[in-house]
Chain A
Amino acid sequence: MKKSVILGALTVAGLSAGAAAAATLDDVKDRGKLNCGVTTGLVGFAAPDANGEWQGFDVGVCRAVAAAVLGDPSAVEFVPTTGKTRFTALASGEIDMLARNTTWTLSRDVDLKNEFVGINYYDGQGFMVPKALGVSSAKELSGATVCIQTGTTTELNLADFFRANDMEYEPVPIETNAEGQQQYLAGACDTYTTDASGLAATRATFENPGDHVILPEIISKEPLGPLVRHGDQPWGDIVRWTLNALIAAEEFGITSANVEDMASNGTDKPEVNRILGVEGTLGEMLGLEADWAVKAIAAGGNYGELFEKHIGEKTPVGLARGLNAQWKDGGLMYSPPFR
């Protein structure tokens, strides 16, 4: 591949992918910072807090990767992306990874040349309506005005859902979640549709969350996960196994509180020892230090801790684990073995 600096308009068109495709790990190490694409602001998943620090479930994945690679969970440059700009940002090398409620689909994986490294939230598309509207099912929404974020899979699911049920609707396209919230609250649309987790997160920020209901129909499968671009497998492996380490950590009871202790003293479980780098050379295989997973888990805790802290039932977002529980507990979270 030609290494080159592509100038001017061509760069704008998002084409410097060629230059950025190889050896993302080296780039990140040289830079000393991980560029991580997140949403422009969705409470619980990725949003700056009162101090301007990015917080959230997706942010936690970014920090874990930064900790694993650079040893410092704060060495992350968060790049807010919209539904429209995210893939271009990734393809052009502006960001090293994308952790932004992105649905894994075949065309995005294959045709858009992305590499989904796993699933950190199993979601589905739902509808939120004001209680006053008196609607109890999405099937009653014929003729409604629907606020929808452009450039998302939800836009296509929406079209499919209304076509399949032979109903009419008027789409109101919006660019960011904040705009959607403004239009929805002003009554410029009857219903707001996006991933059910996003609806819950949005509703949590309302003045009177109780005045709004999320309809029972989930009209699509939305497996959300972090992704990297095609063409750099070693980097993809690092992000994939960092996510897996967080999931496995919950399964084996490794938490941010006990991870240091377990790593220094070792445990009697061989797999835990391998994850924590006490045994084996898994870190070396990934091109990282032996204690990469220790740092990743210490950054924000294991998968379960991240979930409870940012979007769990005790937070304003208030999401139940549901499908996102560990496989032992009847959920779908399942990490391949560390061996």
Chain B
Amino acid sequence: MTTYTDPPKESFRLSMLLYDTRYRSMTIQIVALMGFMLLAAWLISNTIQNLAALGKPIEFGFFTEAAGYDINQHIIEYGNQDTHLRASFVGLLNTLIVAVLGCVTATIVGVIIGVLRLSKNWLVARIMTVYVEMFRNVPLLLWILLAMAILIESLPQPSAFRGEDPAATMKLFESVAITNRGLYIPEPLFSRSLGDVHLLGQSSFRMDVSLDFLALVLVLVLSIFATRKVTARAERIQNATGLRPTTWYINLGLIVIPSTILLIALGFHLGYPELKGFNFQGGTHLRNSLTALWLALSLYTAAFVAEIVRGGILAISHGQTEAASALGIRPQRIMRLVVLPQALRVIIPPLISQYLNLTKNSSLAIAVGYMDITGTLGGITMNQTGRELECVLLLMLVYLVISLIISAVMNWYNNRVKLVER
């Protein structure tokens, strides 16, 4: 008979935190974390104390005061008696406008350049290489300034359109004026308008949304939905009989006819710009600051997008292309149907960071006097109220939120197109 003795009961001693390898790493991590938190707390309390000593405690009350300054480009109603909060909101919308326009253009230009860089045509491929190297190796700020300088110096002033024998004339059947203050294009007007819907009451975020616009979008969405039904039906017939009915004229009709009827019902017409007083009045005014920023941001980012697209295409094994041509598919279709869809999986993750870069780079807007959120909240508001810390923190938060939203949307898209393995 054997007697078992329990293994000696291990009692926990404090020194084991340091000398026992099972606990040591944990101890080190906790100490490091505490140290880091102490440092952060010290920085924050120091900041608050110093600001209080300076007589500028952190507070955000200034946001409800009247801004007092005007902003030239505002897509929502804004006047200099509105609050700083609303001025910041106008700036935010301007940032979003240039970011969205820039991302879309950069993607289109970038994909075209990236594909053409791989062209078998020696000249085309070399020109694209020159484009890429030229744009990505010169600082963005210089491109923005160059674009603005070209627009300002080379285009005619509004006064050149005046007189018996004007030095400049309006283009496209007298409907478009290209001046060094911006592009004036016809604006859509509705004589039997449905009016606007006012959102968010009297708050600083209030905005008017045109019901005409909403109706048009609704009709278009319905039309597209109908065309998808028609296409699905054509697929079914093709699968059953091998013959695909022609659908393009039905689809075209489905999209064009309902929206045309709606436009006529609303009394759609164009408002043309006209030279009145110092400037052109009426029409939509696309300011040079926006154009310059948009162009420079898109062309600059497009150079990077092109490299990403090229990398993505080269990552697809050449066997895929060969297999596709062995099946008798034409080269353009191989690119569109076989290579690009697979390349997207490689392209999208780095593309996300290019979108984020473009959005953050749009904060260079002040160089050409484009009033984005950095120009309003981080510029004039900060300057007039003297609330540097509050404004900069908020500005950082705004950019953080915009970037996170872009990342979230793009990651969702990435998950949709990524390789699904069974």
A interface residue numbers (CB < 8 A to B):
1-2, 4, 6-7, 10, 12-15, 17-19, 21, 83-84, 87-88, 91, 107-108, 111-113, 132-133, 141-145, 150-151, 155-156, 158-160, 163, 169-175, 179, 182-183, 186-190, 230-231
Contact = CB atoms under 8 A, between A and B. Distances in A.
B80 A15 contact: no
Contacts of A172: 72, 181, 289, 369
B383 A87 contact: yes
Given A113-B54, A113-B56, A159-B69, A84 B47 contact: no
A171 B375 CA distance: 13
Contacts of B251: none
A19 B279 CA distance: 51
A13 B383 contact: no
Contact of A1 (B50, B278, B392): B50
Contact of B46 (A4, A142, A144, A163): A4
A156 B54 contact: no
Interface string B380-404: 1011111011001100000000000
Interface in B51-83: 51, 53-56, 68-72, 80-81
Contacts of B389: 13-15
B253 to A, nearest CB: 43
Given A17-B50, A18-B54, A187-B157, A155 B380 contact: yes
A2 B157 contact: no
Contacts of A88: 388
A151 B383 contact: yes
Contact of B388 (A7, A14, A21, A179): A14
Contacts of B180: 186-188
16 contacts: A1-B53, A10-B43, A10-B47, A13-B389, A87-B386, A112-B386, A143-B279, A144-B278, A160-B68, A171-B71, A172-B369, A175-B366, A175-B367, A186-B152, A188-B157, A190-B279
Contact of B68 (A13, A159, A173): A159
B69 A91 contact: no
Contacts of B388: 13-15, 88, 91
B72 A173 contact: yes
Interface of B: 43, 46-47, 49-51, 53-56, 68-72, 80-81, 149, 152-153, 157, 159, 180-181, 276-279, 281, 288-289, 366-367, 369, 371, 375, 379-380, 382-386, 388-389, 392-393
A159 B50 contact: no
Contacts of B69: 155-156, 159, 171
Given A18-B49, A159-B70, A111 B386 contact: yes
A158 to B, nearest CB: 8
B53 A145 contact: no
Nearest to A108: B386
Contact of B278 (A7, A107, A111, A143): A143
Nearest to A92: B388
Contact of A230 (B54, B68, B379): B54
A140 B383 CA distance: 30
A15 B50 contact: yes
Contact of A170 (B49, B54, B279, B385): B279
Contact of B47 (A15, A21, A155): A15
